Amino acid sequence: MQAHLVYKSSYSNKFWKIAVAKTSYAVTYGRIGTVGTVRAKEFPSPEACKKEAHRLIQSKLKKGYRPAVTIQHEIEESTMTEPYFWQLVAFCKHYSEDPYKQKEWLVSHLSQRSVIDIISFDSFLNEHYSKSYSSNLWAAAYIAMGECSGEGFDSFRAWMLFSGKEVYYRAIEDPESLLPHLKKVKGQETILQVKTLIAAASTAYNVKTGHSYGEYRKLYAQLMAEDFSLPEIDMTWDEDRKNCFSNLFPGLWKAFSKNPL
């Protein structure tokens, strides 16, 4: 269920949009030509949610709002593009070697942008973070770190992503390409700390709006039609199998098998 309404007069030029999904809705509103402000609300049942959405629509119509002929001309799209996403990732890397200072800068920057831009940044991040969830990359992480739990692999993928676009894409194709970058890492703790950057967007949302992480997740699901789940992967390696890692990634094995991060 969706509705796109506009209100135009000699002194006002506004839009109002509502999108209902099961037990929650997201309302976007503001001056025509801007990305607007976004608010979401949860209900105990789909029926209660639809009832309230219908009430809001009728209320807007009574105030003089009318259906928009084409919403694309009324609401500005997010200015967060994928190239700009990678620019922000690159700047984090050059801003500081300390992941916590990197996050502080990124949160400060994102919180000054629109909620739509914050969520769009997170969407690009989630897309690439999910793509790096593979058996081969997990094997590379296991070799480099001596062992690697699921949580450790999450941190390894965050480190890989925030190492930059070129490093990330090369590693997706060939995990051994990470060897020179891993040699520069001071220790396993450095990799584990980078995971803090994954929460930059939700933190920026909290700074900007004062709303909780739970509210952010609901709004993200409403606007992006995505979830935070990881894909299923078939593990192609076994740490207990002799020569498994040395055959899979000989370069990484030679460098880290006796002296892991």
Q: Are residues 107 and 150 in the same domain?
A: yes
Question: Number of structural domains, the chain?
Answer: 2
33 compared with 126, residue with greater pLDDT: 126
pLDDT score recorded for residue 30: 79
* 94 within a domain of the structure (yes/no): yes
The pLDDT > 90 percentage for the chain reads: 32
pLDDT digits (tens, 9 = 90+) for 68-120: 765 444 445 567 888 889 999 988 887 888 899 999 999 998 998 888 889 88
Q: Are residues 113 and 210 in the same domain?
A: yes
Q: Are residues 124 and 245 in the same domain?
A: yes
Q: What is the distance between the alpha carbons of residues 121 and 89, in angstroms, rounded to a whole number?
A: 10
Phi-psi region of 254 (alpha: psi -120 to 50; beta: other; left: phi over 0): alpha
Q: Are residues 175 and 220 in the same domain?
A: yes
Q: Are residues 197 and 218 in the same domain?
A: yes
* 38 within a domain of the structure (yes/no): yes
Contact predicate 176/249, CB 8 Å: yes
Q: Which residue, 53, 106, 52, is CA-closest to 80?
A: 106
* φ, ψ for residue 163, nearest 5 deg: -80, -15
In the predicted model, what is the mean pLDDT of residues 233-255? 82
Look up the domain containing 196 and give its range.
Answer: 82-256
pLDDT at 154 exceeding the cut of 60:
yes
Q: Are residues 67 and 102 in the same domain?
A: no
pLDDT score recorded for residue 202: 94
Q: Are residues 120 and 210 in the same domain?
A: yes
Paired sense of beta strands 2-8 and 13-21, if any: antiparallel
* 44 within a domain of the structure (yes/no): yes
Edge-first strand listing for the sheet containing 2-8: 37-42, 24-31, 13-21, 2-8, 66-67
CATH number, domain at 49?
2.20.140.10
C-alpha angle 148/149/150, rounded to 5°? 125
Last residue of a domain, one of 26, 56, 73: 73
Q: Are residues 50 and 21 in the same domain?
A: yes
* 261 within a domain of the structure (yes/no): no
Q: Which amino acid is at 69?
A: V
- Token pair in block for residue 149: 């739990």
Q: Which residue, 107, 89, 92, 93, is CA-closest to 199?
A: 107
In the predicted model, what is the mean pLDDT of residues 213-222? 83
Q: What is the distance between the alpha carbons of residues 158 and 236, in angstroms, rounded to a whole number?
A: 22
Using 50, 70 and 90 to split pLDDT, how confident is the model at 179? Answer: very high
pLDDT digits (tens, 9 = 90+) for 24-36: 887 888 777 666 6
Last residue of a domain, one of 73, 100, 133: 73
Q: Are residues 64 and 158 in the same domain?
A: no
Q: Are residues 106 and 202 in the same domain?
A: yes
H runs (alpha helix) in 111-193: 115-131, 135-145, 150-161, 165-173, 179-183, 188-193
pLDDT digits (tens, 9 = 90+) for 36-59: 677 778 888 889 988 999 999 999
Last residue of a domain, one of 73, 93, 126: 73
Contact predicate 27/69, CB 8 Å: no
Contact predicate 211/201, CB 8 Å: no
